Amino acid sequence: MWFWQNGSFSIYYLNKGKYEQVIRSKLLPLLDVELLASYVEYDEPFDAVLEFRQQIHTRRLITIDIPQANSFVSTAS
């Protein structure tokens, strides 16, 4: 669970029926939460998304393997 308060995120993880605050997301552990927070209250949302994506690409903060389109083609007849 993520909360936005006073210009920053607080992240909580449910562990054994109890929420505990964590520093990083369990789902996105490589995400720079402070960097993301710097774009939340941006004047222009579209520009915020573009600049955030550029920062992620430049810093290589998140690596996502995207399969090639031809890897989904079945060769079975």
Domain positions in the chain: 2-63
- Tell me: pLDDT of 38 over 90: yes
Q: What's the mean pLDDT in 54-75? A: 61
**Predicted local confidence at residue 67, as pLDDT:** 55
Distance CA 21, CA 26 (A): 11
Query: What counts of helices (H) and strands (E) characterise the chain?
Result: 2, 3
Tell me what pLDDT residue 64 has.
Answer: 52
Q: What is the pLDDT of residues 39-60, one digit of tens each?
A: 999 999 999 999 999 998 887 7
In angstroms, rounded to a whole number, what is the distance separating the alpha carbons of residues 6 and 3?
10
C-alpha to C-alpha distances, 65 to 17, 61, 62, 74, nearest whole angstrom: 33, 13, 10, 20
Q: What pLDDT score does 61 carry?
A: 53
Model's pTM, two decimal places? 0.66
